[in-house]
Structure 1
Amino acid sequence: MEFCIGTCAKIDQIGLAKQAEDVGASHFGVGEGPLLFSDPYQYLALAARDTSTIKLGTWVTNPLTRIAPVTANSIATLNALAPGRTFLGIGTANNALRSMGNRPATLSELDTALDIARGLLAGRRVTQTWLGQEREIEFLDKNGHWYNLEDPVEVWMSAGGPKGLAIAAKHADYMTYCLGPNPDMIGVVRRELDKAVAEAGRPPGSVKLVALSWFYQLRDGETWEDGIDKGFGSGPISSCITNAGFMNDHVDELGEPIVKASAEAAMAYLGDPTAPDAPHYLEVWAKYLRGLDPVHRPLITKELVDYWCLYGTPDQLLEKTQLMRDAGCDMVSVFLSNPFTAERDIADIGSSILARA
């Protein structure tokens, strides 16, 4: 079973990548947030030396905090350390840009960056417009002394809505979507992705659908509330934020209650930046993916946890994972939103899901 484990890039937790490999995960990724986490490429470079089979990559970077040639170089350099097991995960950026008080990248900026990065990684000369100048660029080492352009790099994309799906259908090998064990939501995303792939002229199945969930294994006597308090914390709100627009477009199929609940949680988290008493954006993001911020506890209802999270007993976790695959996901993944419990969670994923799949 292909299964991806992701977490925050915490530079003194390089061992998590090896642990993920040992429990049977096929992919391991770390997020990028210049003001939030350790640098992902330093983390992945060290992880490459400690692992031998698991695929490693950014989950996710974006087109703005690093320009496309820099991203391509970083990935090609990682590909020299981990030949053939490197992937480039990229999106418009939720946390990385918002935590600096800036807007996320536009889909047009993402599309352009992928054109450039993929062209460079394929060894081609491409045209880039930067600093008001249009210039041809290419990797200047053709002999592989400095980076690896020979082994293919998988492209993973994270962006929602019709335009995001169209860009994924054009560029990606994998499309990541925040999804839980709900077959209705999975079915809608699967259908729309397959439609976009067909319209892009690519063969059916060219873009694999990766479900990104939030994880917690319940112990004896624990309930869904323990999953929040001891596990994924504020993570499920990220699913609400990234899916609000897409869900609203498909409210007739998904149902107004969950669409409304997800939108309200997202709005309550982000707040109204124009309000006189609005918190500073640095305050909003200061506790992002560090477990549970007590301020967010009232926002995370059982309805949202059931919809967006992969949680339960070992048997329930295995059952939900299979449900997600049967509903149309090519890969199930989890992002461990609390780095301080990641080692425990990876062990649980291994014993409850991967060892029994």
Structure 2
Amino acid sequence: MEFSIGTCAKIDQVSMVKQAEDLGVTHFGVGEGPLLFSDPYQFLALAARETSTIKLGTMVTNPLTRIAPVTANSMATLNALAPGRTYLGIGTANNALRSMGNRTAKITELMHAIEVSRDLMAGKRTVHKWLGQEREVEFLDKESGFYNVKDHIPIWVAAGGPRGLAEAVKYADAIVYCLGPNPDMIKLIRTRLDEAVANAGRAPGSVKLVSLSWFYQLENGETWEDGVTNGFGSGPISSCITNSGLMNNHRDVLGDSIVDASITAAQQYLGDPTAADQPHYLDTWAKYLRGLDPKHRPIITKELVDYWCLYGSPAELREKTSLMLESGVDITQVFLSNPFTAQRDIDNIGRSILAHA
């Protein structure tokens, strides 16, 4: 079973990647947030030296905080340290840009960055549009070991909405989507992905579906509230933010209850942009992925937790993981939303899920 773990890049916790590898985790990604986390590429470079089989990547970068040639260079450099073990996770961004008070990337910006990065990482010359100019770019010394453009670097795209999905499948090796153990939501995204792949003229099954869930293993006597408090904290709200638009267009499949709950949670978290007393964006994101921010506790309901989170007893975790795979997920992925408890969670994943795969 392919199983991926993502978490915040915390530079003094690189050893958790080796821990994950030893337990059978196949992919490990770290997020990018210039005001929030350690730099992902420094983290991944250190992890590359401590591991030998696990695949390493961003989860996710974006086309605005780093321009495409810089991203391609970082990935090709990592690929020199871990040949054939790297993947580029990229999207329009959520926390990385919103936490700086800026808009997320446009689909056109994302697609151009993917095109340029893909070509450069394959050792090709390509055209980069930047600062109102179009210029040819190419890695200039591909044989001296500065970077590795011989081993393919898969591209994982975090895309939402029909347009984003349709564009992303033209280039992606995998699509990353916020999904929990709900068959209706998984089957909806699987169907839309397969249709987009066919429309793009690509072979069936050529683009994998990677789920993104929020993880916590319940200990004896614990309830879903303990999962929020001691585990994924405010994480499920991110799934609401990224999915509410698409969900609103598929009420007939998903049901009004979960759609309304997800939209409400997203709105309550982000605040009313027209309100005079709107919180400062730095305050909004100050405790993002640091466990539970107590002010968000009323937003997180059991309905949202059940829908977006991979949580429960060891037996329930195995059952839910199997359900997700049977419903159309190719690679199960969890994001550990609290770096301070990530090592505990990785150990639980290894013992409760992967040891029985």
TM-score (norm 2): 0.99
Residue 190 of structure 1 corresponds to 190
Q: How many aligned residue pairs are there?
A: 357
Stretch moving more, 294-303 or 138-147: 138-147
Distance in 2, Cα, partners of 1:121 & 1:288: 32
Task: Describe the superposition over 1:211-256 as per-residue Cα deviations: whole angstroms up to 9, x where unpaired.
Answer: 1000000000000110000000000000000001111111111001
User: Which stretches of structure 1, 4 residues or longer, exceed 4 Å deviation after superposition?
Assistant: none
Pairwise CA distance, 1:144: 4.2
Residue 309 of structure 1 corresponds to 309
Task: Describe the superposition over 1:249-283 as per-residue Cα deviations: whole angstroms up to 9, x where unpaired.
Answer: 11111001100000000000000122111110000
Pairwise CA distance, 1:131: 1.5
Q: How does 1:33-112 map to 2 (within 5 A)?
A: 33-112=33-112
Counterpart contact for 2:142–2:148, Cα < 8 Å = no
Stretch moving more, 65-74 or 131-140: 131-140
Distance in 1, Cα, partners of 2:209 & 2:145: 35
Aligned-CA RMSD value: 0.6
Q: How does 1:231-250 map to 2 (within 5 A)?
A: 231-250=231-250
Q: In structure 1, what residue type is equivalent to 2:335? A: F
Distance in 1, Cα, partners of 2:56 & 2:307: 28
Pairwise CA distance, 1:134: 1.2
Task: Describe the superposition over 1:4-37 as per-residue Cα deviations: whole angstroms up to 9, x where unpaired.
Answer: 0010000000001101101100000000000000
Task: Describe the superposition over 1:137-192 as per-residue Cα deviations: whole angstroms up to 9, x where unpaired.
Answer: 11111214200000000100001011111122101111110000000000000000
Q: What SS is found at the alignment partner of 2:349?
A: helix
Task: Describe the superposition over 1:39-98 as per-residue Cα deviations: whole angstroms up to 9, x where unpaired.
Answer: 000000000000000000000000000000000000000000000000000000000000
Q: What SS is found at the alignment partner of 1:239?
A: helix
Residue 320 of structure 1 corresponds to 320
Stretch moving more, 320-329 or 122-131: 122-131
Distance in 2, Cα, partners of 1:305 & 1:8: 21
Counterpart contact for 1:31–1:40, Cα < 8 Å = yes
Pairwise CA distance, 1:205: 0.4
The runs of 5 or more residues in structure 2 that have no matched partner are none
Residue 158 of structure 2 corresponds to 158
1:126 aligns with 2:122: no
Counterpart contact for 2:80–2:145, Cα < 8 Å = no
Q: What SS is found at the alignment partner of 1:170?
A: coil
1:284 aligns with 2:287: no
The runs of 5 or more residues in structure 1 that have no matched partner are none
1:332 aligns with 2:350: no
Counterpart contact for 1:244–1:262, Cα < 8 Å = yes
Residue 207 of structure 2 corresponds to 207
Distance in 2, Cα, partners of 1:38 & 1:227: 26
Q: What SS is found at the alignment partner of 1:151?
A: coil
Distance in 2, Cα, partners of 1:144 & 1:199: 40
Counterpart contact for 1:63–1:92, Cα < 8 Å = yes
Q: What SS is found at the alignment partner of 2:269?
A: helix
Pairwise CA distance, 1:311: 0.3
Distance in 2, Cα, partners of 1:132 & 1:185: 40
Counterpart contact for 1:273–1:279, Cα < 8 Å = no
TM-score (norm 1): 0.99
Q: In structure 2, what residue type is equivalent to 1:187? A: K
Pairwise CA distance, 1:210: 0.6
Identity over aligned residues, as a percent?
A: 72
Distance in 2, Cα, partners of 1:132 & 1:314: 54
Distance in 2, Cα, partners of 1:24 & 1:263: 36
Counterpart contact for 1:53–1:85, Cα < 8 Å = yes
